[in-house]
Homo-oligomer: A and B are copies of this chain.
Amino acid sequence: MFSEFIRPKFSDTDALGHINNTLVPIWFEGARDPVFKLFMPALDTKNWQLILAKVTVEYHAQFFYGHEIEIRTYISRVGGSSFDVYQELWQREVKCASGTAVMVHFCYQEQTSKKIPEDIKEIMLSHSC
């Protein structure tokens, strides 16, 4: 499990007084950095090797400005060239949102998927839920 703590910003709120739902995909992508680093240790955007195929987010409870948020990140599936990242958003001991991103090991030059190397697979499995 990877964990990241976020301090919500005033500009993250919406007119309903809570944090707007569109922040969750943004924060979840941000919290996938440790997963990106497994493939690209220096996070070099000129040699990027991952592409996003699908995201799902479920909203369980409202969350608010003024209280720290934790994003918990797990690897929930490892396939041949694709894998799933499962993530949860926690605030004040409540799981407020959860979701899954399907990512593909990808060659942007050839526009084709690539096999996930075995050594990365092993590290990934150590972060499974």
Contacts and interface: CB of A to CB of B under 8 A. Distances in A.
A33 B65 CA distance: 11
Number of copies: 4
Given A54-B57, A56-B56, A17 B45 contact: yes
A76 interface: no
Contacts of A53: 58-59
Chain A interface size band reads 35 or more
B22 A7 contact: no
A129 interface: no
A41 to B, nearest CB: 10
Given A13-B14, A45-B65, 15 more contacts: A7-B30, A9-B26, A9-B30, A9-B33, A10-B14, A10-B29, A11-B20, A15-B45, A15-B65, A16-B45, A25-B25, A44-B66, A52-B59, A55-B57, A56-B56
